[in-house]
Amino acid sequence: MKKTSWLLLISIFAICLLAAYGGTLGQSGSKTMIRFLALGGFFLLCISLMLGPLAVLLPRIFADLLESRRAIGISAAIFIALHFMLAMMLYFGWNFDNVLGNFSLLIVVPAMIFLIPLTFTSSDWAIKKMGMKNWKLLQYLAYPLFILAFAHFLLEASGPAFLPPPFPAYNIAEAKMVGLGIITIILQIAGFATRRKRASKK
Ligand code: HEM
């Protein structure tokens, strides 16, 4: 099997685990679905952001996987869009005042807006139309998107606790996704530092 197929297999397995674990928490159907889509979307967002720095740090292992990055990013956008739509429909009845009056939801509105151009320019056609330089500039939106989404996640996650107070009441899936988010940030910093070091040597 090719490395890209392994990545697909592992990602689907992880998403199935998130779904199965969510089903064990005894929450309502709508809550379970909204949270599953949220965690699945966040997971895929992390994977899409990890592949770039991993390809810089360990090119022999990860360079082949860069091709899958756009498909994973689009999959993340699909999960997140469904998470947003279900939350708007089932929790807020499409009343945006509720979103704008809640800090943890308000901060993620720009992230949702950034997601739109990022998703719709994920094609070779868009790169050709925009030019590589402009396209790369647009891709920088992924960083504030990720930081805002991570902050929203940390504020919203409150599944049944497995840690005693004063720790936040994250469940096992949430805690693992928080860990993945932190690893994503560390890899981004390491990838950036390595690229700068290599560029200064040239
Ligand atoms: C980039 C965009 C977004 C990402 C990555 C994201 C991700 C997440 C994550 C990971 C959680 C925690 C799930 C859990 O703990 O199981 C969450 C919760 C939540 N999100 Fe989002 N979200 C995004 C945008 C939005 C937007 C725009 C809204 C506005 C309606 C929203 C509404 C909610 C609500 C209401 C919860 C709490 C769900 C509950 O406790 O039942 N999210 N989100």
pLDDT tens-digit series, residues 27-52: 999 999 999 999 999 999 999 999 99
Atom of ligand 1 nearest to the CA of 36: 16
Structure tokens at 23: 């089903």
Say yes or no: CB of residue 15 within 6 Å of ligand 1: no
Tell me the average pLDDT across 72-95: 97
Can you give the pLDDT at residue 169? 82
Q: How many domains does the chain have?
A: 1
Cβ(80) – ligand 1 distance below 6 Å = yes
Q: Which residue minimizes the CA distance to atom 38 of ligand 1? A: 35
Percentage of the chain surpassing pLDDT 90? 90
Contacts by 150-155 with C-beta closer than 8 Å and gap 24+?
Answer: 150/42, 150/181, 150/185, 151/104, 151/107, 151/108, 152/104, 152/105, 152/107, 152/108, 152/111, 153/38, 153/42, 153/177, 153/178, 153/181, 154/178, 155/103, 155/104
Against a cut of 0.85, is the pTM above it? yes
pLDDT in tens, 135-172: 999 999 999 999 999 999 999 988 777 777 777 788 99
Q: What is the pLDDT of residue 165?
A: 73
The whole-number average pLDDT for the span 96-112 is 95
Cα–Cα dist 5/192, whole Å? 27
Which of 31, 32, 35, 79 to probe ligand 1 with, by most ligand atoms within 8 A of CB? Answer: 35
According to the model, what pLDDT value does residue 137 have? Answer: 96
Range of the domain at 40: 3-201
Per-residue confidence band for 23, with pLDDT thresholds at 50, 70 and 90: very high
Whole-number pLDDT of residue 38: 98
